[in-house]
Structure 1
Amino acid sequence: MRLSPTENLILELLRENSRRSLTEIADIVGLSRPTVKYHVDKLIESKVISRFTIEVDTTQVDSVTGTRAMFDLQLKRNTCSIVYASIQRWSEVVSAWSLTGDTDMRILLEAANLSILEELRDRLSRHPEVLTVTTSVILKSWREKT
């Protein structure tokens, strides 16, 4: 997709601060709030913007909010794309990978508490393509890069 100069400027402003309001962006770029909303919605629909996020300085907090876990999946056959399609809208999914070796797929999730992770694990284990799910709760993160 070819971006207009306005869309490039909006993207740059959101890269600097993804929590920036549409009103603030509109003031900076000199457009109305509805026009900026139209451009942002267009960027989301065309998948130029895939998600809004924040960066956390882990030296300033004891831990990232929530409980994190890795789900290692063994599948009945090579169907990672089918499994991923069924979980891609889960807000708790942080990352997902297809792997070589005994584990076919690894999923990193972050939820508010263990009971939510347990419910997601149960849902995933009932997926028709999933053979086994092994869960590893993350106790502490020493270093993370995005």
Structure 2
Amino acid sequence: MQLSPTDNLILELLRENSRRSLTEIADIIGLSRPTVKYHVDKLIETKVISRFTIEMDQTHAASVTTTRAMFDLRLKRNTCSVVYASIQRWSEVVSCWSLTGDIDMRILLEAANLDVLEELRDRLSRHPEVIDVTTSIVLKSWREKA
């Protein structure tokens, strides 16, 4: 999809603050709220925008109790797209990659606790295309980029 100058401006404003209201964006760029909504809806529909998120300062981030893990999958065939289709709506999935080498697919998840991660791991291990799931729990994050 070819992005218009308006699309690029909206994306830049949302990168700065993903919680900006459509009204605020409209005021900043001088367009009507319905026009901005049309552009945002189009960006979501065409998957230019895949999710809205927030960043927290370290003081508050430390108080949020989530558990992060990586699931490394070995698959029967080159069926990453099939496996991804079955997990793409899981709210716990942060990122998902197809890889070269011994591991076919890596999934980064963030869950409320280990019980949730265990349940998701069990579901994945029963998937007909999955041979093996190896789990690595993230102990500490030293650096992350969006």
TM-score, length-scaled by structure 1: 0.86
Q: 1:42 Cα deviation (Å)?
A: 0.8
Moved over 6 A (4+): none
Aligned CA distance change for structure 1 residues 145 and 9 (closer, same or farther; 3 Å): closer
> Which residue of structure 1 aligns with residue 46 of structure 2?
46
Secondary structure of the corresponding residue to residue 136 of structure 2: strand
- The 5 Å alignment of 1:1-146 reads 1-58=1-58, 61-62=61-62, 65-146=65-146
Q: Distance in 2 between matches of 1:129 and 1:85?
A: 12
Residues 57-95 of structure 1 deviation map (CA, whole Å, 9 limit, x = unaligned): 447743765110111112112212211122122221111
Cα RMSD (Å)? 2.0
Q: Distance in 1 between matches of 2:50 and 2:106?
A: 21
**What residue ranges of structure 1 are gaps of 5+ in the alignment?**
none
- After superposing the two structures, state which structure 1 stretch, 6-15 or 95-104, moved more: 95-104
Q: Distance in 2 between matches of 1:69 and 1:105?
A: 14
**What residue ranges of structure 2 are gaps of 5+ in the alignment?**
none
CA contact (8 A) 1:75 1:129 kept: yes
TM-score, length-scaled by structure 2: 0.86
Secondary structure of the corresponding residue to residue 53 of structure 2: coil
Give, as a single letter, the amino acid of the residue that structure 2 aligns with 1:108: L
